[in-house]
Chain A
Amino acid sequence: EIVLTQSPVTLSLSPGERATLSCRASQNIGNDFLAWYHQKPGQAPRLLIFGTSSRATGIPDRFNGSGSGTDFTLTISGLEAEDFAVYYCQRHGNSPPYTFGQGTKLEIK
């Protein structure tokens, strides 16, 4: 089973700054993809990115996903107050398990 490791565990930034979140797979995910979600306290996760780089409906273009193989990145340009949350990556594709990373907490500096 592929394990996803996210880094850093916590990222402290100010509004307006750029955030770079990493998700590394324990082996090449091949023809599968990465999805990204964020989750605020007491809320359900919200899909941001699927297919490694496609934005979900209603997600602003300051969110960008990239990567291939084992290394994937979520970049958020020009952080806004609503972006501070916990971010999870997930492997998705043809077959389960649809593993999640352990999360990165993006907090206000």
Chain B
Amino acid sequence: VQLVESGGAVVQPGRSLRLSCATSGFTFNFFGLHWVRQAPGKGLEWVAVISPDGDKKDYSDAVRGRFTISKDKSKDTLYLQMKSLRPEDTAVYFCAKDGGGGIGDFWGQGTLVTVSS
């Protein structure tokens, strides 16, 4: 199982950014997927989850209405579209495969998003 995040960058407050998570080694359509972030020197914060079929999506209160999680079954890739970015969104963003009931059993290495003017 492999998950590889990309798309992290330095962006100005209020701008948008899309993260990608390319996956392999498991049947993409059978598992949910998560985004989890970690601000510099801080702990883990769950961000969003998408169901195996992509129909059900849930978000943390901190990002609901600004971030959108999606998946492309033809590319085995997970996305996180982030809008109206704030300095407090600065973090390493990890994608994780759902091992059942919300646990992350396999993780990517993360991609850094810095929101700064």
Q: What range describes how many residues of A lie at the interface?
A: 20 to 34
Instruction: Enumerate chain A interface residues (CB-CB to B < 8 A).
Output: 1, 33, 35, 37, 39, 43-47, 50-51, 56, 86, 88, 90-103
Q: B25 at interface (Cβ–Cβ under 8 A)?
A: no
Instruction: Enumerate chain B interface residues (CB-CB to A < 8 A).
Output: 34, 36, 43-46, 49, 58, 60-61, 94, 99-105, 107-110
| Contact of A98 with B49 at beta-carbon distance under 8 Å, contacts A44-B107, A92-B103 already known | yes
Pick from B60, B94, B103, B110: contact of A35, CB under 8 Å:
B103
5 contacts between A and B (CB under 8 A): A44-B109, A45-B107, A96-B46, A96-B102, A98-B34
In the bound complex, do residue B103 and residue A50 qualify as a contact, i.e. CB atoms below 8 Å apart?
A: yes
| Docked complex Cα distance between A43 and B109 (Å) | 6
| Contact of A96 with B58 at beta-carbon distance under 8 Å, contacts A44-B110, A56-B105, A88-B44 already known | yes
In the bound complex, do residue B107 and residue A93 qualify as a contact, i.e. CB atoms below 8 Å apart?
A: no
In the bound complex, do residue A47 and residue B43 qualify as a contact, i.e. CB atoms below 8 Å apart?
A: no
| Docked complex Cα distance between A88 and B38 (Å) | 12
